[in-house]
Structure 1
Amino acid sequence: MQLTKLIYQAGIIGCGGAGFPTHAKYNGTIETIIINGAECEPLLQTDRYLMRNKAGELIKAADMLLRETGAGGCVIALKASYTREIAALEEAIRSLGSDVRLHRLESFFPAGDEQTIVYEVTGKVVPPAGIPLNVGCVVNNVATLYGIYEAMEGRPFTQKYLTVTGEVKHPVIAKVPIGTPVGECLKLAGGPLLSDYVVVNGGPMMGKLMSKEEAESACVTKTMSGLIVLSTDSSIARRSEVTLKHMLNRAKSACIQCSFCSQLCPRALLGHPLEPHRIMRKLSSCRDLTEILDDRDVQNAALCCECGICEVYACPMGLQPRKVNSLLKGELARAGIRYQRTEGEWEPDPNRNMRKAPTARVASRAGVAAFEEIQIDELKEITPESSGTVRLALRQSIGAPSQPVIKDGERVEKGQLIAVCPEGSLGSALHASISGVAALEEQYLVIRP
């Protein structure tokens, strides 16, 4: 079966980011396949667990990608400090006679940013507003690669591996059916240590913060990579409490134009024309964001990857350039203003290597250093057979939501196709993660065992 068709039918999307449908990445001429094993967000260890315990499966899937795409090479990029993971992968490469090679990265954030990792591995800069395929590369993270292996074995994408850590009794790697309530995942880790808490969906730098109440109603999605329980008094929780009006007023009045946000911006260090301090300066002269959308510096906000280095690590005034950029990206989209790419070669900042943000220091600035050294080896599992009710969002990826192909009240079996990508649209298929009776509830398919 053609590779892209296999991936498409299994419903595989990027497991750790925005959820770009994986089959669409392989439409083009590919020189290098990069498997992202950097897992650069502090605290997250899901990909590390898979590299240690599923190394053979990962290398088999990588070999298949090489054969099917005709790419010139496949590289697994991971941090040099991941010694156990490196040992497991090297043994799998030797035993399988694979041509896959490893690339050892420094421990910095965001080493796993798609455009950053392309430069680290190949020395090529993805053009501003471009994609890795513009320089002959495709990037998938380790969990996505494992999903491809499962598809090779005839199993669609129905289960997720997650890091559950922070203020919990026993941090674990959880393996659960997609659609499992977040609360059930926290129970696998012994439950929260606090009576009142917040939960970060993802990593502490780029993850989405959920209140206790929001977490209790949330369910696992294909893109969820981790759950971090934190105090309501944590620095991450306090930053989220700043109102939009207050954030903008502070940006206008307190920015000292030190330019640290621009000097340390990972995209600016790749040579992209993104200078957050200039954007902050423009805010001081306007009453409303829409007044400055015609400014070229402001339009460069579209290049922001929202990694958070500018506000968590760089800014001495505690301002939030990332959130400003995020707001501007939304306003630019509503105004129909798209970033205008220019032709030419892009060169990284000559000081880039000296300005990389060490992961341990980033964890400290983010207020999660106490959990960074926890080594998680234990896997806890909720099997499809033992699961309770699951709620599967119809929109699991970038693009159009999936369209149900089953009837309300219909009995479905684990692995059965229950929703498809609309014809001619970017999206993904959705499969039942457990067996039971399905019901359509707004933008969810609910399956009760």
Structure 2
Amino acid sequence: MTFLEGIKKAGVVGAGGAGFPTHIKLDTQAKTLIINGIECEPLLKTDKFLIRRFSEALIQGALAIGKHLKAQDIVIAIKEKNKKEIEQLQRCLKPGEVSLKIHPVGDFYPAGDEQMLVREVMAETVAPGKIPLSKGVVITNVATVLDIVHQQPVTHRVMTIGGEVNQPCLIKVPIGTDLQSCIEAAGGPKISDYHALTGGPMMGQLCPRSELSRTYVTKTMGGLILLPSHHPIIQHHHLSISHCLKRAASVCIQCRMCTDLCPRYLNGHPLHPHLVMRSVAFGKITMESSKSALLCCACGICEHFACPMGLSPKMINESVKSTLMQGGVKWVNTEEAFQEVHPQRSYRKIPTERLIQRLGLSIYETDVPETLQSLTPDKVVIPLKQHIGVLAKPVVENGDKVVVGQLIASVGTDLGSEIHSSLDGTVKKVEKDYIMVERS
């Protein structure tokens, strides 16, 4: 079995992003491999824990991937403030592993964005609309590397459970575990009126309290944050696009702060959220004014930090972007698209601590216990699309006995990821988009 075949068989996807199949991403050669250990989302502690606990495996995985890619340089990018993790990595480095370097990065948001990483590590800018591979760079995150090096089917996920829970913790759970069970494993909620965010507070998705028992852990879910229902972040998620458009038309003051603090704009990309807002506000949406929305990475700085009026440039960008993409519009670089990095880029980075204060999350910024909890639920409901690509097709039937790591759904040769059972038990239900397994 080849290196890539092993990754495909294990069902490895990008654990820190949208779930792009890793065997496809690594089917290339690259000059530089960057392991993303930044974890820039506020409140999440998962990757830092994985680095501390599995430093040696992380290094061996990075070297194996680098060898496959024929990479000349292998870099583990990590925040400079994470002294324990850096020291642990340095202790595990062997004298002969000179091709692997640890690159400290400042504590700002979104330092973990792929294009920001290329800028921070290599002092180069990825062209608008392009991916890091266009610069000879492949980036993969810590959890993905460990999934590769363990050489076993991906059946569990380590998550941060934080916010309004009694015992914030790190927990290893089977994929398909319902989120309510995860909350109970963290001591239950502190309050009765709450909602949750899957992922981090900046880019995570809202999961209403009523949906927690019907929402399930996936391969890409690294955190679960509980917040009061009245918290501004939760309230923001309840806004409809029509409401955002009306607010933009009525109170946008064209201060251009959303543009001035935009990480992609500061990297030299022709992304101007204030111009998109202007075109929406005046009802004069043209291709020229709106196409820059295609470059938005949805980091949320514009709406959660920059805008003094509490507007939502990101949501409007995403709406415009979706409309353009549905119409088959793609970003095309021109000579004007290539701009220099903004001269004040280094002064406009958003410190993570300041961001946490602005978000109203300081009371939740606590250290979690060093121990890793585990949870084995009575049943799992495993989604068949936890990845970019097609739905995996079930290869089991109702009543089948399965064990942890057994293949239960496959994408064959299509784009996607293999799906495995995360429990020893019996298949109780097979649907088009999920498989339910009950524990023996």
| CA offset digits 1:94-141 (Å, max 9, x no partner) | 378463210000000000011111111111211111111110011111
Q: Helix, strand or coil for the counterpart of 2:94?
A: helix
Q: Helix, strand or coil for the counterpart of 1:94?
A: coil
Check 1:199–1:72 CA distance in 2 against 1; reply closer, same or farther (3 A cut).
same
Cα distance in 2 for residues equivalent to 1:376 and 1:39: 18
Q: Helix, strand or coil for the counterpart of 2:93?
A: helix
Cα distance in 2 for residues equivalent to 1:94 and 1:39: 25
Cα distance in 2 for residues equivalent to 1:342 and 1:430: 42
The answer as to whether partners of 2:245 and 2:281 remain within 8 angstroms in 1 is no
| CA offset digits 1:248-295 (Å, max 9, x no partner) | 111111111111100110111111110000000001222xxxx72x42
Q: Helix, strand or coil for the counterpart of 2:398?
A: coil
Q: Helix, strand or coil for the counterpart of 2:133?
A: helix
Q: Helix, strand or coil for the counterpart of 1:33?
A: strand
What's the TM-score, normalizing by structure 1?
Answer: 0.94
The answer as to whether partners of 1:417 and 1:429 remain within 8 angstroms in 2 is yes
Shift of 1:408: 2.9
Cα distance in 2 for residues equivalent to 1:372 and 1:110: 17
Residue 400 of structure 2: aligned partner: 410
- 1:366-381 pair list within 5 angstroms: 366-381=359-374
- 1:223-238 pair list within 5 angstroms: 223-238=220-235
Say which of 423, 429, 433 aligns to 2:418.
429
* Structure 2: 5+ residue stretches without partners: none
| CA offset digits 1:283-326 (Å, max 9, x no partner) | 1222xxxx72x422301101111000000010001000000011
Percent identical pairs in the alignment equals: 42
Letter in 2 for 1:149: V
Letter in 2 for 1:263: D
Structure 1 segments of 4+ aligned residues over 4 angstroms from their partners: 95-98, 343-346
Letter in 1 for 2:32: T
Instruction: Please say if 1:337 is aligned against 2:329.
Output: yes
Cα distance in 1 for residues equivalent to 2:2 and 2:74: 19
Instruction: Please say if 1:172 is aligned against 2:169.
Output: yes
Say which of 299, 303, 308 aligns to 2:300.
308
- 1:351-370 pair list within 5 angstroms: 351-370=344-363
Instruction: Please say if 1:401 is aligned against 2:391.
Output: yes
Cα distance in 1 for residues equivalent to 2:7 and 2:297: 26
Residue 390 of structure 1: aligned partner: 380
Moved more, 404-413 or 71-80: 404-413
Shift of 1:422: 4.2
Shift of 1:235: 1.2
Shift of 1:200: 0.6
Letter in 1 for 2:422: S
Cα distance in 2 for residues equivalent to 1:196 and 1:112: 32
Shift of 1:376: 4.1
Letter in 2 for 1:45: K
Say which of 214, 220, 230 aligns to 2:217.
220
Residue 132 of structure 1: aligned partner: 132
Shift of 1:400: 1.1
The answer as to whether partners of 1:274 and 1:297 remain within 8 angstroms in 2 is no
Letter in 2 for 1:67: K
What's the TM-score, normalizing by structure 2?
Answer: 0.96
The answer as to whether partners of 1:162 and 1:226 remain within 8 angstroms in 2 is yes
Shift of 1:242: 2.5
Q: Helix, strand or coil for the counterpart of 1:28?
A: coil
Counting matched residue pairs gives 437
Residue 5 of structure 1: aligned partner: 5
Cα distance in 1 for residues equivalent to 2:374 and 2:122: 38
Residue 103 of structure 1: aligned partner: 103
Letter in 2 for 1:318: G
Cα distance in 2 for residues equivalent to 1:318 and 1:217: 32
Q: What CA RMSD, in Å, does the superposition of the two structures yield over aligned residues?
A: 1.6
* Structure 1: 5+ residue stretches without partners: none
Cα distance in 1 for residues equivalent to 2:65 and 2:321: 34
The answer as to whether partners of 1:205 and 1:308 remain within 8 angstroms in 2 is yes
The answer as to whether partners of 1:28 and 1:133 remain within 8 angstroms in 2 is no
Cα distance in 1 for residues equivalent to 2:77 and 2:37: 5
Q: Helix, strand or coil for the counterpart of 2:171?
A: strand
Cα distance in 2 for residues equivalent to 1:242 and 1:432: 37
Shift of 1:444: 0.4
Cα distance in 1 for residues equivalent to 2:34 and 2:422: 29
